[in-house]
Chain A
Amino acid sequence: MPTFNLKINNQTHTVEADMDTPLLWVLRDQLDLPGTKYSCGIGQCGACNIHVDGNVMRSCLLQVSQAEGMNITTIEGLSKHGDHPVQEAWKAIDVPQCGYCQAGQIMTAAAFLEKNPNPTEVEIRNAMNGNICRCASYNSIEEAVKVAAEKMS
């Protein structure tokens, strides 16, 4: 089986995996980074969202072979102490219900606000539209993105 060198959360890991293995499963099963979640596996829900060179990406669609040489950040590496402004906003609003989708929501919001620190409501809604929350915590997510934007801008 081929091996790959991956740079994740500022650490280099060498993993053995089939070329076509989605990065999602490498993170979860091999690297003990289960914060990135599986829900649909086909790019529809955003539960598996990570940052690749600062852009938000679906780790269920990214093959491990494509991830080499890139700067990957998962929810575990978003901040050292869980205090990224988006995480802080999520805590302040108490967004999660079951919580399963929230890592993906947070990763989407963090990458979005990095690029657009002063978003309008419509921009927030568009940016977050790719992330499903089955518990329908959407009102709180929207509010938390606004709170985080205030802190980040």
Chain B
Amino acid sequence: MSTSKQIAFSRRSFLKTSALASGGMLIGFNLFNACKQDVKMPIDLSQLNYNDFNAFIKISEEGKVTIFAPNPEIGQGVKTSMPMLIAEELDVLWDDVYVVQAPLDTENYTRQLAGGSQSLRQGWEPLRQTGATAKQMLVNAAAARWGIEASECTAKQGVITNPNGETLGYGDVVLEAAQLEVPEEVTLKDPKDFTIIGQKTANVDIDKIVTGKPLFGLDYKEEGMVYACVLRPPAFGQVLDTYDETAAKAIPGVIDVITIGEKTRAHLEGDNRSWTAQISPSDKIVVIAKTTWDAIKGKKAIKAVWKQDSEAETTEFHDEQLMQILDGKKFRTRRKDGDVKKAFAQADKVLERTYESPFLPHNTMEPMNFFANVTPEKVHLVGPVQTPEDAAKTVSDMLGRDLKDIHVEMTRMGGGFGRRLYGDFVYEAAEISNKIKKPVKMVSTREDDMATGVYRPAIKYRIAASIKDGKITGYHLKEAAINGNMYGLIPNFFPAGAIANYQVDTANYKSNITTGAWRAPYTNFLASAEQSFFDELAEELGVDRVQLHMDLLENVKNNPEPKIEYSPERLQGVLKLAVEKSNWGKTSGEIYQGLAVYYCHNTHVAEVADVVMTNGVPVVKKVTCAVDCGIVVNPLGAMNQVKGGIIDGIGHTMYGELTFNNGEPQSNNFNTYQLIRMGQTPKVDVHFVKNDIAPTGLGEPTLPPVGGAVANAIYKATGQRLTKQPYMNNLQAEKVIG
């Protein structure tokens, strides 16, 4: 892996260059898909067409590099790390690189989606190839000018040098380079020669963030724009019956009160229903006002009567349904190795536990909001959404407009965590503007945001393992989730491959509560449950927890299987590193340690939580984390992601819970829903495994295991095995204080 790489591929399929009318060279390329053969490059920046290429690099005659990065930023740092990959292979000084959020008011656009920790992983090769190709063309141009072979020249930090020691800057040859053929083969750097990748690089928007510049959706404004607040059903299962808007209309800043909903409903019932359309079918009352505050006040003044349309569900009801599922036999089997039934029948002992987790709202700090301006010419949509392409398709279907009339512009996002994958707020904004024929900003209050969300569903796991002659012979995992959770790849995660008789079954209860992806979807609770279970299993077997995992991973190495996604070697590697760095097993008497080791979202992680008892309450003081995500592109950004994931994970594991009564969420703001604060935050000590493997994402994988590490540490501190989240609600105080 440590030699430079020659790559030949049909470059025409993804990269084109042209000279800019305004000077400089423009390179258009496609990150995740190939472009059509016949597309033309623009000769001016105002004509950048993101339908043909989804990203552009401009090299000016001064040698400055501007990267127009279309990927939305939700806080995972891709707006910084992805351009770093281009700049590395282009070989320029990072200080000469400017990153511009692509101007998205375009004819159309292609894949722009933030989520799943995939952006960096998928961009790793194409982005470096793009940079390397551009560099090669510049070198070719310089060589032609000198009348020598390109191979005689070297290029470094924006300067090309010939054997006589003469130099030309990139800017000096851009115009010639732009006329050249795109080379068919380029050489990528040996990782040991990286000068940008692996360097601590600050977030490209940092200056704007610390000075309060408008960056976010909620900050976006246009001339003549009005504000809208939407009154939605207070409970799932309810729809609008009647309403009285007199008092709202009497408020001076209120312009109008309207209803929306028909268009969304038609979309929900139609054939083109989008997966992102997690939204109530009810009519909604919209207050249009001059300012946000007028709209908020107007909404409060509406008197609405709601009627029951479907089930009014409570948390107790969900608990019963999920328990019934676990006790029953109606499952879909996702993976089956050997014969668990037989293993259980022949076992010396079977250990069985049930783990429970509640609904969770996303609670992004910036509440849902969107700008829409629907005119006869076009539909202009601006704001924070992770799935712009889908939003455009849905709005086109809803409003019966041509897809090419829909323009979506993305802003920086005040957090995503999965919530902004669902476009309900975009559709509402579009429907409102379509009706009032004005530019409008739809703003959700915190209460709206929390109580009309798209939640991480409540999930219960039942895990059973059979023990025979001191060995684990069978493992049976059952999932019961509201609406749906696990998908096909998860059953191939650990301990698949490590235990001969292994089975994973899933089943759902279909609820009218809207649910969807939440940071580290599918595994955010699964890892907690399984890692707690393994801790108990080790105790039952009377073996060291670390040894148990090392041995199980050894089994996987001995029985390689193509479906297994994780690498047993890399899991063992992070486990060893975490054990070493955390002082595992060697801490003083007051520190209780818990361990978890996990693979998800393509990254391998091991975590050790240190818990101390303070006034009879367990407090997480420190978490040591070992991560194998391949090459660390930006250590600063990576560190932020890892620490954020861990602390976020602890917060939700300990305190997060949304309950329902008659369909109504029982929390709607931060006074009734606890998010972790600095005072409850442990110090996180992060260690990256050093290797030359292609990078994988970090936005998600450190979150799932931490709940298990914390539960295992709390067990040591209190003797209580916590199986139900949030843990702080389920700790028994008497036992603790004793």
Which of A25, A82, A126, A138 contacts B293, CB < 8 Å?
A25
With a 10 A CB-CB cut-off, give which of A91, A96, A142 has the most chain B CB atoms.
A96
Is B643 at the interface (CB under 8 A from chain A)? yes
- Chain B nearest Cβ from A33, distance in angstroms: 8
With a 10 A CB-CB cut-off, give which of A29, A101, A126, A135 has the most chain B CB atoms.
A135
Nearest A-chain residue to B412, judged by Cβ: A99
- Chain B nearest Cβ from A12, distance in angstroms: 20
B contact residues, total (Cβ < 8 Å):
66
Which of A32, A34, A44, A134 contacts B415, CB < 8 Å?
A134
With a 10 A CB-CB cut-off, give which of B74, B205, B678, B683 has the most chain A CB atoms.
B678
Nearest A-chain residue to B699, judged by Cβ: A97
Which of B74, B417, B647, B671 contacts A139, CB < 8 Å?
B647
Cβ–Cβ contact B678 & A141, under 8 A = yes
Residues of A within 8 A of B366 (CB): 37, 39, 98, 100
Is B306 at the interface (CB under 8 A from chain A)? no
The complex places the Cα of A128 from the Cα of B676 at a distance, in Å, of 12
- Chain A nearest Cβ from B700, distance in angstroms: 13
The complex places the Cα of A136 from the Cα of B218 at a distance, in Å, of 21
**Contacts of A4-58 to chain B: CB distance below 8 A:** 17-18, 21-22, 25, 28-30, 32-42, 44-45, 47
Nearest B-chain residue to A77, judged by Cβ: B212
Is B292 at the interface (CB under 8 A from chain A)? yes
Cβ–Cβ contact A136 & B651, under 8 A = yes
Which of B205, B207, B296, B648 contacts A136, CB < 8 Å?
B648
Cβ–Cβ contact A96 & B365, under 8 A = no
Is B253 at the interface (CB under 8 A from chain A)? yes
**Contacts of A58-105 to chain B: CB distance below 8 A:** 74-76, 78, 82, 87, 90-91, 94, 96-103
Cβ–Cβ contact A135 & B636, under 8 A = no
Which of A33, A94, A139 contacts B684, CB < 8 Å?
A139
Residues of B within 8 A of A1 (CB): 252
Nearest B-chain residue to A100, judged by Cβ: B414
**Contacts of B367-420 to chain A: CB distance below 8 A:** 367, 412-417
Q: Given A21-B293, A45-B365, A135-B648 in contact, is the A102-B209 Cβ separation under 8 Å?
A: yes
Is A151 at the interface (CB under 8 A from chain B)? no
Nearest B-chain residue to A43, judged by Cβ: B671
Which of B206, B207, B414, B681 contacts A98, CB < 8 Å?
B414
Cβ–Cβ contact A103 & B293, under 8 A = no
Q: Given A40-B446, A75-B211, A76-B211 in contact, is the A137-B293 Cβ separation under 8 Å?
A: no
Is A106 at the interface (CB under 8 A from chain B)? yes
Is A118 at the interface (CB under 8 A from chain B)? no
Q: Given A90-B210, A98-B74, A126-B679 in contact, is the A137-B640 Cβ separation under 8 Å?
A: yes
Q: Given A129-B679, A138-B678 in contact, is the A35-B213 Cβ separation under 8 Å?
A: yes
Is B677 at the interface (CB under 8 A from chain A)? yes
Cβ–Cβ contact A101 & B365, under 8 A = yes
Is A3 at the interface (CB under 8 A from chain B)? no
- Chain A nearest Cβ from B120, distance in angstroms: 15
Residues of B within 8 A of A101 (CB): 365, 414
Is A111 at the interface (CB under 8 A from chain B)? no
Is B662 at the interface (CB under 8 A from chain A)? no
Cβ–Cβ contact A25 & B669, under 8 A = no
The complex places the Cα of A140 from the Cα of B209 at a distance, in Å, of 15
Cβ–Cβ contact B670 & A38, under 8 A = no
The complex places the Cα of A65 from the Cα of B413 at a distance, in Å, of 32
Cβ–Cβ contact B216 & A91, under 8 A = no
Nearest B-chain residue to A96, judged by Cβ: B209
Residues of A within 8 A of B643 (CB): 136-137, 139-140
- 6 further contact pairs, Cβ within 8 A, besides A25-B292, A138-B647: A18-B252, A36-B212, A42-B669, A82-B211, A98-B416, A139-B683
CB-defined A-B contacts under 8 Å, sample of 9: A25-B291, A41-B296, A47-B365, A97-B641, A99-B412, A125-B678, A128-B678, A131-B678, A135-B75
Using a CB–CB cutoff of 8 Å, the interface residues on chain B facing chain A are: 73-77, 200, 202-203, 205-207, 209-216, 218-219, 221, 227, 252-253, 291-294, 296-297, 363-367, 412-417, 445-446, 636-637, 640-641, 643-648, 651, 669-671, 675-679, 681, 683-684
